[in-house]
Amino acid sequence: MQNLRDTMAGVGKLLKQAQKMQKGIAEAQQRLADERIEVSHGGGAVKVVVDGHGRIQALTLHPDFLKEGATVVEPALVAALQEAADRARALHEATMSKATAGFQLPGL
């Protein structure tokens, strides 16, 4: 009977931890949605803004830069998008790691 009580107490503690972690994850997700990461390339001719999830929020191309042609514009645009995605991914991983840091599964 004692083992059953101990098991139930452990399950209750695990559920409380899971609820706390779920709340922390939801808060982290909202912070990431509100976050803005701005990246520019081509001497500022290309600007990309993404949120903490990596979703593009804004893209600005200087009109004079567009006159350079596709062989100049495309690589700068790709570089800006890639850097923005990389920075968002790093922020996302760090934020989510922090949100789940205290969660420990018993027996692992």
Residue 52, in any domain of the structure: yes
Q: Is the pTM above the cut of 0.85?
A: no
User: How far apart (Å, rounded) are the C-alpha atoms in residues 36 and 39?
Assistant: 10
Residue 80, domain CATH: 3.30.1310.10
For 47-87, write each residue's pLDDT tens digit: 999 999 999 999 999 999 999 999 999 999 999 999 999 99
Exposure letters 49-88 (e unless 16+ CB within 10 A, then b): bbbbebeeeeeebeeebeeeeeeebeebbeebbebbbebb
pLDDT tier at 108 (50, 70, 90 boundaries)?
very low
Can you tell me the mean pLDDT for 17-30?
Answer: 90
pLDDT, averaged across the chain: 89
pLDDT for the residue 75: 95
User: CB within 8 A of 102, min separation 6: which ones?
Assistant: 17, 20, 21
Residue 107, in any domain of the structure: no
pLDDT for the residue 41: 94
Residue 25, in any domain of the structure: yes
**How many structural domains does the chain have?**
1
Query: Which residue range forms the structural domain that includes residue 67?
Result: 2-99
